[in-house]
């Protein structure tokens, strides 16, 4: 008989959400681990609540700090975990995180071809499209076309690098800082940074009022 504690997993999915193949496997595995006494419902609930509290604004603050502080930016590129620790960000259950800097000559885009490995401590739970087989297969084969469908047109002279996340290493894309933001504070810059720009499937747009100075 299935225990009521197994329902812990389901309220964290949208009412109209149809569970994917991988979500069903994860739920089944969690239920099995609870049945075997490997984890408790309390421990599982704690993890779910932690993940719900995470969102892209955490990563956005990191990007804004890197834009405004060249020394921090270099530390972030050289030692992701160490730089994040300076901001009080801990990477529980995550071995390492690598920051990929977008430049005028290189554009990075992140995928997990095997499942949906994602920097949850920085960006919160991954979007549905990131977990889809369509995105995971197509972005490797035809990255420019996929990016165009996201509204990102990468010039022909700019190299597109597709980076594959793993269970041990996750990636954070450091977007190119938009022109006209030189006088902005970290708080103002944070508001500009989007989740997709930190995956590589989005660009940062600056409100016209911010550039009309």
Active site residues: 112, 115-117
What would the 3-class secondary structure string for the chain be? CCCHHHHHHHHHCCCCCCCCHHHHHHHHHHHHHHHCCCCCHHHHHHHHHHHHHCCHHHHHHHHHHHHHCHHHHHHHHHCHHHHHHHCCCCCCCCCEEEEEECCCCEEEEEECCCCCCCCHHHHCCCCHHHHCHHHHHHHHHCHHHHHHHCCCCCCCCCEEEEEECCCCEEEEEECCCCCCCCCCCHHHHHHHCCCHHHCCCCCCCCCHHHHCC
| C-alpha dihedral sign at 30, 19, 150, 138 | positive
The rounded Cα 2 to chain-centroid distance in angstroms is 34
d(CA 50, CA 137): 30
């Amino acid at each position: 008989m299935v225990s009521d504690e197994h329902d812990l997993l389901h309220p964290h999915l949208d009412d109209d959400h149809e569970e994917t193949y991988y979500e069903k496997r994860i739920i089944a595995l969690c239920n099995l681990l609870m049945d075997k006494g490997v984890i408790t419902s309390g421990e599982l609930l704690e993890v779910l609540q932690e993940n719900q509290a995470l969102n892209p604004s955490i990563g956005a603050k990191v990007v804004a700090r890197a834009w405004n502080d060249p020394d921090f930016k270099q530390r972030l590129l050289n030692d992701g975990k160490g730089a994040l620790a300076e901001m009080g960000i801990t990477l529980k259950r995550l071995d390492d995180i690598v920051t990929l800097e977008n430049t005028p000559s290189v554009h990075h885009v992140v995928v997990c071809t095997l499942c949906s490995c994602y920097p949850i401590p920085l960006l919160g739970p991954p979007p549905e499209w990131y977990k889809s087989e369509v995105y995971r297969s197509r972005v490797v084969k035809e990255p420019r076309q996929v990016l165009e469908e996201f509204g990102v047109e990468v010039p022909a002279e700019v190299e597109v690098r597709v980076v594959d996340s793993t269970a041990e290493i996750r990636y954070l894309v450091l977007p190119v800082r938009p022109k006209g933001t030189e006088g902005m504070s970290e708080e103002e810059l944070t508001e500009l940074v989007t989740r997709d720009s930190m995956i590589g499937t989005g660009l940062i747009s600056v409100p016209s009022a911010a550039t009309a100075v």
